[in-house]
Amino acid sequence: MLPIVQTGDPVLRALARPISRDELPDLAGLIAAMRDTMRAAPGVGLAAPQIGESLQLTVIEDLPEHQDPSRERTGVPFHVLVNPTLTVIGDEVVDAYEGCLSFSGFVMIVRRARRVHVEALDENGTPVVIDASGWYARILQHEIDHLNGILCCDRMDSRTLSTTENHQRFAAIATKPSGDTSLTVAT
How far is 36 from 44, CA to CA, in rounded Å? 11
Contact between 69 and 62 under an 8 Å Cβ cutoff? The reply is no
**Within a 10 A sphere around the Cβ of 175, how many other Cβ atoms?**
10
How far is 69 from 157, CA to CA, in rounded Å? 24
Buried-state track 11-33, b at ≥16 Cβ within 10 A, e below 16: bbeeebbebeeeebeebeebbee
Give yes or no: 123 in active site: no
- Among the listed residues 61, 98, 123, 143, the single catalytic one is 143
Which residues does the annotation mark as catalytic?
A: 143
